[in-house]
Amino acid sequence: MNWHDHLPAFLVMIPLLGAFLTPFVASWGKLVRNVFFVLFMALTLVVGISLCTATFDGRVLVYVMGGESFSLTLPSGMSYPIRILFEIDGFGSLLILCISIAAFAGALFSINYMDRFSGWKRFMSLYFLMTAGALGMSATGDLFNFFVFVEISSIASFGLIAFWRDKPESLEASFKYMLISQVAAMLLLLAIGSLYGKYNALNMGALASMLRAGTLERISLALIVSVLAFKCGAFPMHTWMPDAYAETPSGVTCLLVTVSQASFYGLIRVCYSIFPALTQGGTVGWILIVLGCMSMFFGVLMAVVQHEIKRLMGYHSISQVGYMLLALGVGLLALGNRNDIAAYGLTAMKGGLFHVMNYSFYKGLLFLCAGALYYATGTRDLDKMGGLARNMPWTAGMFVIAAAAISGLPPFNGFVSKWMIYESSFVVHPLLPALAMITSVLTLASFVKVFQAAFLGPAKEKFVAVREVPYGMLAGMAILTVMTLLLTLFPGWFMGNLFENAARALLDHQGYIRAVMGGI
């Protein structure tokens, strides 16, 4: 037996094991605790990278838990899979890579960042759980398990948002997210339960092979699309996001960005792989486009006027999610028509998936930079900052790279993915790229404001003693900076090996079914 075959199981097992071992290991001293935290996240990263490279050739990895054989999806006599099953294709592995890199960077950053605070056992356990939940969402091939992983990551995030429980703002942010999230969870469960009641199956591939375009299926689709759009922060259901992102410790915010991307993964998986008969060519595509445009524009409008740095970045997250919704919505309009796919659909999907990865890295980096500023100055209010580039040159440099990338300035990676979204959405309607470009200009405007307010200008007396943040924090930021620069310098490699592969995996609806159901 080759250990390589069991990578999908290790992907979730390692962070879960980390979560349950933390209460014991964290009692053995600071050094052991820190080594354990970084080592387990590094192992998760290695597994994530290995899984990603295993799908470069377009392969779909399937792993069955608790069966006679890990690769036997249909035991004799069964017409559809009943066991817990992981199914990882090019699209899933793209998300797994983003999550595992962001989780590792966030963990490295948190070693120094959280050193001033107590509650490490709680922090590490929840961090591991949230990572396991997000990775599970991207790996599972089963709708009910998807719901379970959504809940694992949500419950962990409620705890981490309220981590500083002596701050009323943290408790309020966590309570708001928990309240709406639980309403959403009930609706998601209702949708999955309805499908199970009718088709007697929960496996995504099996459901995709059986689904018909009836009323119950439409209601289930509407509920799943709404809930996952809420989870990834689409306007007007985004209201939890700025509060939650602002109050969470920065290393966790970096991971929370990719957790929202895992919800985006679920949304796209449902639309492209499970319900293509209902979603192609019409209403759902336009719903995603309208949600995307509203998220882009209103998100950035709110961001421009903020002066609390993490809150400002939280509103930008809504705006960035808008680009991805727009791109994948345009892709849905083309779905089912070979000519439209060739004309603009594939470019839109590749642009959207490129933006998913870009966003995971530059947005995570921006949140870490905001955390570094808070660590050094003790404030998140931009009005109180100024002249910090002299004291914190590395943080300032990495902030400039991330800000230029998110603003879509050439030659950075953000420009390339946005450019592909502009080109493809122009074919659908010229107003779409116009709105996206206005959003990009406003994004640049607000990050110029942040850079001017925090890093430029004369030095302020109260910050004379401020020094650059510790090496651990810089290392966390450096990982995301390197990833941003790699995406900038080698977009052709990433496109050929990751985004093209992920987009084609989404288009190959039958291939996704075949991987589980065989020749049926």
| Amino acid letter for position 327 | A
- Closest to other proteins by CB, 140 vs 446, is 446
Residue 424 lies near other proteins (rule: CB under 8 A)? yes
Q: Residue from 122, 460, 504, 514 that binds other proteins (CB under 8 A)?
A: 460
495 binds other proteins (CB under 8 A): yes
Q: Is 488 in the site for other proteins (CB under 8 A)?
A: yes
Contact call for residue 441 and other proteins (CB under 8 A): no
Residue 62 pairs with which residues in a beta bridge? 87
Among residues 127, 85, 90, 92, the alpha carbon closest in space to that of 107 is found at 127
Please report which helix (H) or strand (E) contains residue 175, including its range. helix 168-199
Q: What are phi and psi of 82, to 5 degrees?
A: -120, -15
Q: How far is the CB of 344 from other proteins (least distance, A)?
A: 8
Per-residue H/E/C for 191-237: HHHHHHHHHCCCEHHHHHHHCCCCHHHHHHHHHHHHHHHHHCCCCCC
Residue closer to other proteins (CB basis): 285 or 364: 285
Give the C-alpha separation, 20 to 25, whole Å: 10
Each residue of 176-198: b (16+ CB within 10 Å) or e? ebbeebeebbebbbebbeebeeb
3-22 residues in contact with other proteins (CB under 8 A) are: none
Nearer to other proteins, 183 or 520 (CB): 183
Judged by CB under 8 A, does residue 425 bind other proteins? no
Least spacing, CB of residue 407 vs other proteins, in Å: 15
Question: Cα 117–122–123 angle (5° rounding)?
Answer: 60
The distance of closest approach from Cβ of residue 67 to other proteins in the complex, given in angstroms and rounded to an integer, is: 36
Does residue 306 contact residue 318 with C-beta atoms inside 8 Å? Answer: no
Torsion angles phi and psi, residue 140, rounded to 5 = -70, 150
- With beta carbons less than 8 A apart as the criterion, state whether 370 and 313 touch: yes
In angstroms, the CA 481 to CA 358 distance is: 11
Q: Which of 193, 387, 472, 511 binds other proteins (CB under 8 A)?
A: 387
Distance CA 103, CA 138 (A): 14
183 in contact with other proteins (CB under 8 A): yes
Residue 362, interface with other proteins (CB under 8 A)? no
* Residue 490 is a binding residue for other proteins (CB under 8 A): yes
Q: How far is the CB of 230 from other proteins (least distance, A)?
A: 6
Instruction: Give the residue, chosen from 50, 171, 196, 423, that forms a contact with other proteins under the rule CB under 8 A.
Output: 423
Separation of alpha carbons 124 and 48, rounded Å:
20
**Residue 286 · residue 334 · CB < 8 Å:** no
Q: Residue 104 or 177: which CB sits closer to other proteins?
A: 177
Over the window 135 to 174, marking each residue x when it contacts other proteins by CB under 8 A and - when it does not, the resulting string is ----------------------------------------
Nearest C-alpha neighbor of 474 from the set 388, 365, 381, 379: 365
Q: Which of the residues 300 through 339 are near other proteins (CB under 8 A)?
A: 301-302, 304-305, 307
Closest CA relative to residue 259, chosen from 131, 424, 140: 131
Shortest distance, CB of residue 499 to other proteins, whole angstroms?
Answer: 10
The answer to the question of residue 215 lying near other proteins (CB under 8 A) is: yes
Position among 98, 195, 225, 254 found at the interface with other proteins (CB under 8 A) = 225
353 binds other proteins (CB under 8 A): no
Find tokens 């989780």 and name the residue.
Answer: 103
Number of amino acids touching other proteins (CB under 8 A) = 67
58: alpha, beta or left? (left if phi > 0; alpha if psi -120 to 50): left
The burial class, CB within 10 Å (0-12 / 13-18 / 19+), for 426 is middle
Q: Which stretch binds other proteins (CB under 8 A): 48-56, 147-155, 159-167, 453-461?
A: 453-461
Q: Which residues pair with 87 in a beta bridge?
A: 62
Instruction: Please report whether residue 438 would count as binding other proteins according to CB under 8 A.
Output: no
Residue 142's closest CA among 63, 210, 87?
87
Measured over the CA atoms of residue 494, residue 500, residue 506 and residue 508, the dihedral's sign is: negative
Q: Taking the complex as a whole, how short is the minimal distance between the CB of residue 186 and other proteins, in angstroms?
A: 11
Please state the closest distance from residue 504 (CB atom) to other proteins, in A. Answer: 14
Task: State which of positions 228-267 bind other proteins (CB under 8 A).
Answer: 229-230, 236-237, 239-240
Using the minimum distance from each CB to other proteins, give the nearer residue, 14 or 228: 228
In this chain, which of 59, 176, 504, 514 binds other proteins, going by CB under 8 A?
A: 176
**Rounded least distance, CB 194 to other proteins, Å:** 13
User: Which residue in this structure is represented by tokens 């420009």?
Assistant: 415
CB 221 within 8 A of CB 256: no
Q: Nearest distance from residue 312's CB to other proteins, in Å?
A: 9
By the rule CB under 8 A, 70 interacts with other proteins: no
Within 277-306, the residues that bind other proteins by CB under 8 A are: 278, 283-284, 287, 298, 301-302, 304-305
Q: Which residues of this chain interact with other proteins, rule CB under 8 A?
A: 175-176, 179-180, 183-184, 187, 215, 218-219, 221-223, 225-227, 229-230, 236-237, 239-240, 278, 283-284, 287, 298, 301-302, 304-305, 307, 342, 346-347, 350-351, 382-383, 385-387, 410-411, 416, 419-420, 423-424, 445, 449-450, 452-453, 457-462, 488-493, 495
